[in-house]
């Protein structure tokens, strides 16, 4: 018996030396990172040396992005330069702007649009493979990807509704300009700040499926666009990035507080999943959900009361029907509430997650690109014994 890098039991077959790890690589440490960590048993996560929730509550999108990409929180001069860099890169390249309406005609799914558009952007920007690029070239590419992602999504959202895209405004902060490009109106300060807090809180979150996908691709030396397209492909799966709108749909279905307890009881007794609850890592309350809950309470709106009531009903019903099983609201539950109240359409909830997570994906790509080792695990073959002779009817066919 051997031990995985995470200290968990793992089995080794002496004949081949392979290590068998838990399904899904659960709690298996595959590399080292300086970007942050998720401590699920504690309900805590951080970016570098700072609590991610503290950052979300107190700093701007630009501050947090600088921390992840450069390694430290910027001073006033650094922040000004970094924000200006992001702002000047936010407009779409003319060739991509011309291509976007055609992409939008092929699909109404915003993540598919983003995936296709970023792939095209990689060609238009003539991105070189990470393997052939300098550290500075890689960082410039990541910064450009962070800048154009909200512009692509906002323009696609408007095009799909027969509206003209709104040009980027480099004088605004990243979060405020994103909201303005989506809605066509400069957001109220509390709306922009609410969305900005959400973006900071969701920039990175350990080795989730999409981040790991980006790092696997980066380890091959491919270009940044390939890494981001792969990450978005992983993120589009319902088990990963699709819950904010689904959680809001559940609230719409419940409709009023007096229906919440019965609705929850029916779902629990039927063994159905309640969207927006539970998490693969947290065994206590999701700190992102707790923060967003407080932000949502800044609005005097029946939707907030309904969400809080449903959360209470879920916890009370589980305590009654399944004692000892803890299931708490995750980030998606209150994220949908906050984004709707800030003026975003439900179809933009998961894409808005990408506006944040592209920072984490990019930072992880930069870190992985410094490692010369390709990520190349093995699979244990469990099929029929090999080699076996070919069936008689195929023997000698080549002659």
Instruction: Please give the order of strands across the beta sheet that includes 44-47.
Output: 36-39, 44-47, 50-51
What pLDDT does residue 263 have? 86
Q: Do domains 62-238+344-369 and 243-340 have the same CATH topology?
A: no
What pLDDT does residue 399 have? 55
Count of C-beta atoms within a 10 Å radius of residue 14:
5
Classify the C-alpha dihedral 265-269-270-273 as positive or negative. positive
Backbone torsion region of residue 48, taken as left when φ is above 0, otherwise alpha when ψ lies between -120 and 50, otherwise beta: left
Give the closest residue to 19 by CA, choosing from 44, 1, 41.
1
Which CATH number does 62-238+344-369 carry?
1.10.580.10
User: What's the first-to-final CA gap in the chain, in angstroms?
Assistant: 49
What pLDDT does residue 179 have? 98
Distance of alpha carbon 112 from its chain centroid, rounded?
A: 15
Residues labelled as active-site residues: 279, 332
What pLDDT does residue 6 have? 43
Cβ atoms of 206 and 226 closer than 8 Å: no
Write the secondary structure of 265-320 as one string of H (helix), E (strand) and C (coil).
HHHHHCCCCCCCECCCCCCCCCHHHHHHHHHHCCCCCHHHHHHHHHHHHHHHHHHH
What pLDDT does residue 27 have? 80
**Mean pLDDT by 10-residue block, N- to C-terminus, for the chain (399 residues)?**
45 63 86 93 93 97 98 98 97 98 94 96 98 97 98 97 96 97 97 97 94 98 98 88 72 85 85 74 80 94 91 82 74 88 92 96 98 93 94 69
Q: List the domain boundaries for the chain.
A: 62-238+344-369, 243-340
Q: What is the DSSP string of 68-97?
A: HHHSS---HHHHHHHHHHHHHH-SPPHHHH
Which CATH number does 243-340 carry?
1.10.230.10
What pLDDT does residue 310 have? 86
Residue 137 CA to residue 65 CA, distance in Å, equals 17
What pLDDT does residue 339 have? 93
What pLDDT does residue 374 have? 97
What pLDDT does residue 10 have? 54
Cite the DSSP H helix spans in the chain.
52-58, 61-70, 76-89, 94-106, 110-124, 135-159, 174-183, 189-201, 209-219, 224-235, 243-254, 257-269, 287-296, 302-321, 331-341, 349-369
0.85 exceeded by pTM: yes
Give the closest residue to 203 by CA, choosing from 361, 12, 378, 90.
361
Residue 317 CA to residue 329 CA, distance in Å, equals 14
């Amino acid at each position: 018996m051997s031990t995985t890098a995470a200290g968990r039991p793992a089995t080794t077959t002496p004949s081949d030396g392979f290590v068998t790890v838990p399904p899904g690589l659960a709690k298996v440490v595959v590399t080292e990172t300086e970007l942050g960590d998720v401590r699920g048993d504690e309900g805590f996560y951080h970016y570098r040396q700072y609590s991610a929730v503290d950052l979300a509550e107190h700093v701007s999108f630009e501050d947090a992005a600088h921390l992840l990409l450069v390694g430290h929180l910027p001073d006033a001069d650094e922040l000004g330069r970094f924000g200006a860099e992001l702002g000047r890169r936010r407009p779409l390249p003319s060739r991509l702007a011309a291509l976007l309406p055609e992409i939008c005609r092929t699909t109404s799914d915003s993540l598919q649009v983003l995936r296709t558009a970023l792939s095209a952007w990689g060609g238009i920007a003539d991105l070189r493979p990470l393997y052939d690029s300098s550290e500075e070239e890689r960082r410039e590419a990541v910064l450009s990807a962070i800048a154009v992602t909200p512009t692509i999504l906002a323009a696609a959202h408007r095009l799909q509704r027969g509206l003209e895209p709104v040009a980027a405004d480099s004088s605004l902060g990243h979060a405020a300009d994103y909201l303005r490009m989506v809605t066509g109106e400069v957001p109220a300060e509390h709306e922009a700040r609410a969305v900005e807090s959400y973006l900071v809180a969701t920039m990175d979150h350990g080795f989730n499926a999409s981040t790991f996908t980006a790092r696997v691709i980066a380890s091959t030396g491919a270009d940044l666009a390939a890494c981001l397209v792969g990450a978005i492909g992983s993120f589009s799966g319902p088990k990963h990035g699709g819950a904010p709108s689904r959680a809001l749909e559940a609230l719409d279905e419940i409709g009023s507080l007096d229906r919440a307890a019965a609705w929850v009881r029916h779902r629990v007794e039927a063994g159905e999943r309640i969207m927006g609850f539970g998490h693969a890592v947290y065994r206590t309350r999701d700190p992102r959900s707790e923060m967003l809950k407080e932000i949502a309470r800044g609005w005097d709106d029946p939707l907030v009361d309904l969400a809080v009531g449903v959360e209470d009903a879920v916890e009370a019903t589980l305590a009654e029907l399944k004692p000892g099983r803890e299931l708490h609201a995750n980030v998606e539950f209150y994220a949908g509430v906050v984004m709707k109240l800030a003026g975003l359409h439900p179809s933009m909830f998961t894409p808005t997650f990408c506006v944040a997570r592209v920072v984490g994906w990019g930072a992880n790509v930069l870190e992985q690109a410094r490692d010369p080792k390709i990520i190349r695990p093995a699979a244990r073959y469990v099929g029929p014994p090999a080699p076996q002779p070919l069936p008689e009817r195929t023997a000698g066919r080549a002659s």
